[in-house]
Amino acid sequence: MNGLRLAVSWLTVLPLPAREVDERACRQAIALAPLVGALVGALGALVPAALTGFGAPPLLAGLLAVAVLVLVTRGMHVDGLADTVDGLGCYGPPERALQVMRDGGAGPFAVVALILDVGVQAVALAELAGSGRWSSIVLACAVGRAGFVLACRRGLPAARPEGMGALVAGSQSPVVVAGWWVVLIVIAALLPGPWWQGPLAVLLAGGLVFGFTAHARRRFGGITGDVLGAAAELGTTAVLVVAAC
């Protein structure tokens, strides 16, 4: 339960602080992150469901749904995406890239990435809202947080000796990683729509997150908290896009 409390307090604005924050609790929090993602997705799906029920335009509902998702997560994931893209876009050795990420300013790469991320998610959410496919929103957010599990797989080190990345890097066994992605593929196959669409979305998201984190290792030397946030956004967006097509 301590790991679940930590996952909820870390990944959402809900006031459920963990009793202890140690290596074991952090490992459990990462392993339970997809459950918290499903909770976030459910909260995000309520907004377009309510708005479209009152006759609001689907795109407006999609934009407001993105706003809720950002607020519920304190904007951590989009902030991680912005910092990571700036780090990937700079010149110099890994130390230089990590410094750019730590500075926290938003460069041109970050601005473009955020516009694309928010815009694509809003349009996809609008399409899903217009067709009443709320379960796909829940799935997308769960898959995004399963990106945390995949990014923290064994063999992938932390880029820094301190920070969240150092606490959770390499903490997830192959059984936990594979287990979550298999479960999500099975759940995706049971959702409304063509049987292959959901599993394809999950597989695409997993491939993108795997490739992205492998590139982060080459560029930064490993993962950071920002890389985890970027992985979550990448996985979430990939599922939303495929589900909306």
Q: How far is CA 119 from CA 157, 163, 172, 208, 243, in A?
A: 32, 30, 32, 19, 16
Q: How far is CA 220 from CA 61, 103, 110, 223, 231, in A?
A: 37, 15, 17, 7, 15
Low-confidence ranges of the chain (pLDDT < 50): none
Q: What is the pLDDT of residues 31-55, one digit of tens each?
A: 999 999 999 999 988 888 888 888 8
CA pseudo-torsion sign 145, 137, 124, 186: positive
Classify residue 193 as exposed, middle or buried by CB count within 10 Å of its CB (0-12, 13-18, 19+). Answer: middle
User: Looking at residue 124, what is its pLDDT?
Assistant: 94
Please, are residues 122 and 66 in contact by the beta-carbon 8 Å criterion? Answer: yes
* Distance (Å, whole) CA 174 – CA 233: 22
